[in-house]
């Protein structure tokens, strides 16, 4: 695939998935057919898909030394994902739900991206680091990150929070806020995705409905990982968006 190695920085958690015959109605008791544990977190899911696509990758994050640890380590190992630089914490629990602290997270990510930009300025092209960032949830503090990355992926929820009612509006509105020469990709669920290339031109690709929908868990993370893969193999974002819509339904991550 490529000699490049991709570093995914972010969260790993445990998703507890309960499978029922049908979606439970409110205030009713519903029997569960079976229950599964899934390794979750956007960055951790991205790493899984990258590994399945043959891209060498590493996950960097924090892992608690709680009883879920062995499950997480075995699952990372199953997909040949490097976690050698993760930090392990005693007396903490693996997250099952996340309380967002947007401002603090945004400032920390901003500092990291600024350090990468400083590194790139001091090194030649062969030693520079390309960065991508996904802005998915409606967290207003993350707006400060938009002009700090080479590739920016914005989700439907984030776009609607900022007042945009379509991917076209989001591309037009967010475009001037991105770093000059960067690529901007906007996903819009069943309607597909749209990208703005570094030269300002745009391309829209409709979603390709799957023959059979099994599960949408991890679909957005699959799209992001596919996008990163196409960047690694140096395809254009024009071709990339078309390919992404066809590969995004390989299954829940």
CATH of the domain at 15: 3.40.1190.30
Do residues 72 and 149 share a domain? no
168-172, 217-221, 233-237, 247-251: least confidently modelled range: 247-251
Do residues 166 and 200 share a domain? yes
Question: What is the pLDDT at residue 125?
Answer: 84
How far apart CA 178 and CA 152 sit, in angstroms, is: 8
Q: Which of 100, 133, 153 is at the close of a domain?
A: 100
Question: What is the pLDDT at residue 247?
Answer: 46
Complete DSSP assignment for 32-100:
EEEEEEEEE-HHHHHHHHHHHTT--EEEE-EEE-STTHHHHHHHHHHTT-B-TT-EEETT----SS---
Q: What is the pLDDT of residues 118-171, one digit of tens each?
A: 999 999 988 889 899 999 888 888 889 999 999 999 999 999 999 999 999 999
Q: Which of 42, 66, 100 is at the close of a domain?
A: 100
What share of the chain has pLDDT > 90, as a percent? 48
> CATH no. for residue 134?
3.40.1190.20
The model's confidence at residue 249, banded by pLDDT at 50, 70 and 90, is very low
Q: Provide mean pLDDT across the span 178-205.
A: 91
The model's confidence at residue 22, banded by pLDDT at 50, 70 and 90, is confident
How far apart CA 116 and CA 145 sit, in angstroms, is: 13
Residue found by looking up tokens 């990291």 in the block? 112
Question: What is the pLDDT at residue 221?
Answer: 84
Q: Which of 100, 129, 158 is at the close of a domain?
A: 100
How far apart CA 41 and CA 8 sit, in angstroms, is: 11
Does pLDDT of 208 surpass 60?
yes
How far apart CA 11 and CA 93 sit, in angstroms, is: 13
- The count of domains in the chain is 2
pLDDT winner (highest mean) among 17-26, 61-70, 104-113: 61-70
User: pTM of the full predicted structure?
Assistant: 0.79
81-90, 110-119, 142-151, 224-233: least confidently modelled range: 224-233
Does pLDDT of 236 surpass 50?
no
Asked whether 12 and 68 are in contact (CB, 8 A), the reply is: no
Q: Which domain holds residue 18?
A: 1-100
Q: What is the pLDDT of residues 29-88, one digit of tens each?
A: 888 888 888 999 999 999 999 999 888 999 999 999 999 999 999 999 999 999 999 999
Question: What is the pLDDT at residue 103?
Answer: 60
Closest CA to 46 of 111, 122, 104, 133: 133
Phi and psi angles of residue 76, each rounded to the nearest 5 degrees, phi first: -60, -45
Do residues 232 and 168 share a domain? yes
Do residues 82 and 187 share a domain? no
């Amino acid at each position: 695939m490529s000699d490049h190695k991709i570093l995914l920085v972010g969260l790993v958690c445990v998703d507890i998935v309960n499978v029922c015959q049908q979606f439970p109605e409110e205030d009713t008791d519903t029997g569960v057919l079976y229950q599964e544990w899934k390794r979750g977190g956007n960055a951790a899911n991205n790493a899984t898909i990258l590994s399945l696509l043959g891209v060498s990758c590493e996950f960097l994050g924090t892992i608690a030394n709680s009883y879920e640890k062995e499950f997480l380590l075995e699952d990372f190992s199953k997909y040949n994902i490097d976690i050698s630089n993760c930090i392990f914490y005693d007396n903490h629990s693996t997250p099952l739900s996340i309380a967002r602290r947007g401002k603090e997270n945004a400032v920390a990510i901003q500092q990291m991206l600024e350090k990468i930009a400083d590194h790139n300025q001091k090194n030649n092209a062969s030693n520079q680091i390309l960065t991508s960032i996904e802005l998915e949830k409606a967290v207003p503090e993350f707006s400060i990150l938009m002009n700090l990355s080479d590739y920016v992926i914005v989700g439907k929820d984030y776009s609607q929070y900022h007042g945009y009612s379509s991917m076209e509006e989001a591309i037009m509105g967010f475009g001037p806020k991105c770093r000059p020469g960067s690529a901007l990709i906007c996903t819009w669920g069943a309607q597909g995705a749209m990208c703005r290339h570094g030269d300002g031109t745009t391309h829209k690709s409709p979603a390709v409905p799957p023959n059979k929908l099994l599960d949408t868990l991890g679909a957005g993370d699959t799209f992001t990982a596919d996008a990163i893969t196409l960047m690694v193999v140096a395809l254009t974002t024009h071709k990339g968006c078309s390919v992404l819509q066809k590969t995004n339904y390989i299954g829940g991550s």
